[in-house]
Amino acid sequence: MNYRCNRWLKINQLHLVLSATIFCIVCFSWGFMASAAQMPEIQRRGYLTIAVKDNLRPLGFRDVDGNLQGLEIDLAKRLALDLLGKADAVRFQPVANRDRLSVVLNNKVDLAIARVTATESRARLVSFSVPYYFDGTLIVTKDACVSQLSDLANRKIAVIKNSSTIAQVRYYVPKAELVGVDSYQEGRSLTENNTVVAFAADASVLSGWVQQYPQYRLLPTKLSTEPLSVVMPKGLQYDQLRRQVNEAIAKYTAEGWLKERVQYWGLP
């Protein structure tokens, strides 16, 4: 009796294993068939949809006529040219910071080029291209007496609350007094009315300040280095798209095109 019972259990276990295996093979086949269609689908419709910033000089912003421009806009158009043959084969979707990953996760856009730093935690949700620019922390000031980090000892520096910038400033300027702010606007306001002598934040943002407000200067020392990358969806079905984007950006770097555009837009 026990022998028959054991044999019956083993047969059923084998049946379950085989069923699960067949199910996985079928699912994988469906996924593989979808993966081959993704890039051809973009090619058939004739354009890329890309999430960008429209209020962040000099990466992505609107000129006086309302047209989008900036380093990231240039990159999007160059990708459209290389992937689809036309620089205007792209539809832009301006996004807020909080939506930069979700629009890719929810398949609302093909890519996001919107000042996204590639981090390990974000890489669990989306894929990142090779970097197109290395951002980092810089310090901006309008005080003529401040020309190097040592001049900030015992002075007030504004920093975004709960940001990684706090640790960086404490390391490089340990005697500075840090003043927490909730936004870039508040940081500039405190700097403008001389409540603080300087503001430490992302180089890509502060370089836009210097372009808009000539009274500000960037100190030469970068406190950190952080890669900005194109946000791409995960999944086998997007493998061809990811590969082509990575190959294109690697080419732009090797040929010097990205360096030229970075210099053109006045990025440090």
Per-residue pLDDT tens digits for 210-240: 999 999 999 999 999 999 999 999 999 999 9
Tell me, what's the pLDDT at 40? 86
pLDDT at 27 exceeding the cut of 60: no
Tally: H helices and E strands in the chain:
9, 15
Each residue's pLDDT tens digit, 193-218: 999 999 999 999 999 999 999 999 99
Cβ atoms within 10 Å of 64's Cβ, excluding its own: 5
Q: Which tokens belong to 31?
A: 């996924």
Give one DSSP letter per residue of 129-173, joined into a string: PSPSEEE-EEEEE--TT--SGGGGTTSEEEEETT-THHHHHHHH-
Is pLDDT at 97 greater than 90 in this prediction?
yes
What is the model's pLDDT at position 141? 97
Average pLDDT, the chain: 88
> Which residue would you say has higher pLDDT here, 203 or 38?
203
Q: What is the pLDDT of residues 54-96, one digit of tens each?
A: 999 999 999 999 999 999 999 999 999 999 999 999 999 999 9
Q: What is the pLDDT of residue 210?
A: 93
What backbone phi and psi angles, to 5 degrees, belong to 63? -80, -175
Distance CA 128, CA 112 (A): 10
**Residue range 16-41: mean pLDDT, rounded:** 43
pLDDT of 8 higher than 70: no
pLDDT above 50: residue 32: no
Rounded to whole angstroms, the Cα distance separating 112 from 245 reads 12
How many other CB atoms are there within 10 angstroms of residue 60's CB atom? Answer: 26
When mean pLDDT is compared across 3-7, 22-26, 193-197, 243-247, the lowest value belongs to 22-26
Query: Is 9 strand, coil or helix?
Result: helix
> pLDDT band at 52, cuts 50/70/90?
very high
pLDDT score of 72: 98
Say whether pLDDT at 108 is over 60. yes
The pair of structure tokens assigned to 79 is 């990708």
160 compared with 15, residue with greater pLDDT: 160
Question: Is the previous residue joined to 58 through a cis bond, with omega within 30 degrees of 0?
Answer: yes
Exposure letters 134-165 (e unless 16+ CB within 10 A, then b): bbbbbbbbbbeebeebeebeebbbbbbeebeb
Residue written as token pair 């798209």: 241
Task: Please give the Cα distance from 133 to 141 (Å, whole number).
Answer: 23
What share of the chain in percent tops pLDDT 90?
85
